[in-house]
Amino acid sequence: MSETIAEYLVNSLGDKFSAEFIAFFVSMLPILELRGGLIAAKLMGIEFFKAFAICYIGNMLPIPFILLFIRKIFNYLKKIPRIEAIIEKLEARSLRKADNVKKYRLLGLFIFVGIPLPGTGAWTGALIADLLDIRIKHSLPVIALGVLLAGIIISILSYGLLGLLGF
């Protein structure tokens, strides 16, 4: 799914913006995040280390703001009748995915963010950290390390680093 969306964005935006901007932008989006950004960067032929740096920064840029403001935003949105149900459903879904984070706290958060599976990543990890009252000074570095791990895993898959390293 991420590959399809990333490819669509590359095709839609490719003639309007630089490849680097598109990779950065895709990396900032929920669901796609760094994973989608690296796929987009690969499709556009961006050199690996440059792509990794751009996508990592793009993925991490919104995370402090999510950790600081998501609860306030959600509390405000819950006052809107039709939006309230959506926000509560999103919170409940995130908390259902948070079993290992609840059990192992920071290690669980690291694994949740770092293993690139559907529905995991920095955005959801930040939401879970906030819902579980994990302080930003603890959650932000753990999420940053998780994004790094996810980036390494996706890089191996999308850029074929195993082949470059002689494996």
Is 163 domain-assigned? no
The pTM assigned to this predicted structure is 0.86
- Residue where a domain terminates, one of 42, 60, 78: 60
The two structure tokens encoding residue 142: 């753990």
Number of structural domains the chain divides into: 2
User: Are the CB atoms for 23 and 46 separated by under 8 Å?
Assistant: yes
* Together in a domain, 87 and 145: yes
Label residue 134 by pLDDT band (50, 70, 90): very high
Do 139 and 77 sit in the same domain of this protein?
Answer: yes
Based on the domain organization, do 93 and 48 belong to the same domain?
no
92 & 141 share domain: yes
Last residue of a domain, one of 15, 38, 60: 60
Whether residue 97 is predicted with pLDDT greater than 90 in this model: the reply is no
Q: Is position 104 within any domain?
A: yes
Q: Is the pLDDT of residue 167 over 60?
A: no
Structure tokens that stand for 53 in this block:
């740096």
> Does any domain span residue 72?
yes
Q: What percent of the chain has pLDDT over 70?
A: 95
Least confident of 3-12, 22-31, 116-125, 149-158: 3-12
What is the rounded CA–CA span in Å between residue 17 and residue 160?
26
pLDDT tens sequence across 21-42: 999 999 999 989 998 999 899 8
Whether residue 159 lies inside any domain: the answer is no
31 in the same domain as 78 = no
Whether the per-residue pLDDT at 164 is higher than 60: the answer is no
* Residue-range definition of the domain harbouring residue 135: 63-152
Mean pLDDT on 116-144: 94
| pLDDT at residue 1, rounded to an integer | 65
In a domain? residue 158: no
Q: What is the mean pLDDT of residues 70-88?
A: 92
Domain membership flag for residue 160: no
Q: Are 55 and 38 in contact (CB under 8 A)?
A: yes
